[in-house]
Structure 1
């Protein structure tokens, strides 16, 4: 039996979750009618226990915070209290515990791994994402940013060598190359920017539901672990040694993050 903290008299309600309209599976794909990804699976498990119903509306990334501010959506996913946007303030929002952890990074063709930042003259990135770790190089004209409408387009540009790298989450890259085997000669380059980032759900008006959700997550660690494992979500700490060995890197060659991750 699943445990959950919160009021025994809590009333089951219906809420709208605004979600990024990018296919970013296994983390999320809210256009899917079958499986919307690991974050959705955890919210649905919470729904089963709490009785709350979540309706998912996929929206362009740049509209999510605006619709939250307008009250047209109750929650935004994914969100993170370290991400900046010009619409809502972190201090005004409530954030859940992480539903999952993403390993955001820079994907290159294996033959070009290990060459460092200066080798990346053109970087592909999903439309709506912000290149925080690359911003200085973009501003200086050292790296040109190419926005792509979806992940397959990014891989196609990388394969054709029209870009040098693709800013993409590790597990998304793994899933994509499994379903698009023509693009399987790529790797997460540890000499380039990479971070482990929490994917949380946020709200402006429903702190009580966030508290319930956090209680559910805290009370059911094995269930949360099982759901994440079902989607093959692996912590960076477990991936690191394998990638270092594959890329034959010395410790001082691995990129060190000094900038917060951003949306």
Structure 2
């Protein structure tokens, strides 16, 4: 298993001690899962374990944490990469804020997905992070009720967002002092707020919103307003300590296009 950097300073407060103890428990849990999931016998030493930090939210078709397990496009893709290169992939699902802490601060995770260097730039400052080739494209935008389509940002007094995410990267930028932000830990919860008029708009991934609305029988209850600010980019796999593994992943994405495309088609994700 890849080495983890040691902490540089001893805890100074009780709260810091608690946080670091919690981080240590996660690291021990990851180690236990690695040993549990690896095959017995000589193959054990040949299959290093990689911990992949993922978001503990329902985010179909990209990746969802459901019934205690991680599933979706990202799981199938990364599992296929792991099998081909002899890695055991262990998925550590965490709330968005905690995920950034584990990946950037305490370094208990080998990889993170999804990631993008444009997200939370202030937290990344001074840290050398390596990013893979683009894995898939995304569009984040604002969904409103059909009757509010075309009314502009002036009609968005309260915007619903996932806890830990900020909509200030929209193009053109949103004036964060001109409206309130209502956070929720799940996209489904945000969509429910939009349907029940508890927020004026919902900022989220459009494909995820479409999947969840149709899944719950609320198709067309909320619609994307293309005239409102939105953001388009690519999801990447990222790492701090393992650039060589990322290079292997890039090669996998370039040379195993038929396999990758079949996984895309399975989950309805276009190239």
Question: Per the shorter chain, which TM-score range?
Answer: 0.7 to 0.9
- Shift of the alpha carbon at 1:53? 1.2
Out of 52-61 and 219-228, give the one that drifted further: 219-228
Q: Which residue of 2 aligns with 1:256?
A: none
Largest Rg, 1 or 2:
2
Pick from 54, 69, 72 the counterpart of residue 19 of structure 1.
54
**Between Structure 1 and Structure 2, how many residues are aligned?**
223
Residues 8-63 of structure 1: per-residue CA shift (max 9 Å, x gap): xxx64211111111211111113455661212211111112111111001112112
Pick from 51, 65, 80 the counterpart of residue 45 of structure 1.
80
| Equivalent-residue separation in structure 2 for 1:213 and 1:90 (angstroms) | 25
Residues 161-207 of structure 1: per-residue CA shift (max 9 Å, x gap): 12111001111011101111135322111011222221111111100
Q: Which residue of 1 aligns with 2:236?
A: 200
| Equivalent-residue separation in structure 2 for 1:210 and 1:32 (angstroms) | 29
Residues 205-245 of structure 1: per-residue CA shift (max 9 Å, x gap): 1001000000000112232222122211247xxxxxxxxxx
Aligned partners of 1:117 and 1:191 also within 8 Å: no
- Residue 64 of structure 1 pairs with residue 106 of structure 2: no
The SS at the match of 2:58 is coil
| Equivalent-residue separation in structure 2 for 1:34 and 1:60 (angstroms) | 14
- Residue 137 of structure 1 pairs with residue 175 of structure 2: yes
- Residue 29 of structure 1 pairs with residue 64 of structure 2: yes
Aligned partners of 2:52 and 2:91 also within 8 Å: yes
The SS at the match of 2:59 is coil
Q: Which residue of 2 aligns with 1:120?
A: 156
- Shift of the alpha carbon at 1:99? 2.1
Alignment root-mean-square deviation, CA:
2.0
| Equivalent-residue separation in structure 2 for 1:82 and 1:35 (angstroms) | 25
- Residue 105 of structure 1 pairs with residue 169 of structure 2: no
- Structure 2 regions of 5+ residues with no counterpart? 1-45
Pair 1:202–1:133, CA change in 2 (3 A): closer
| Equivalent-residue separation in structure 2 for 1:81 and 1:90 (angstroms) | 12
Normalising to structure 2: TM-score of the pair?
0.76
Structure 1: 4+ residue segments shifted above 3 A = 30-35, 85-91, 133-136
The SS at the match of 1:145 is strand
Normalising to structure 1: TM-score of the pair?
0.78
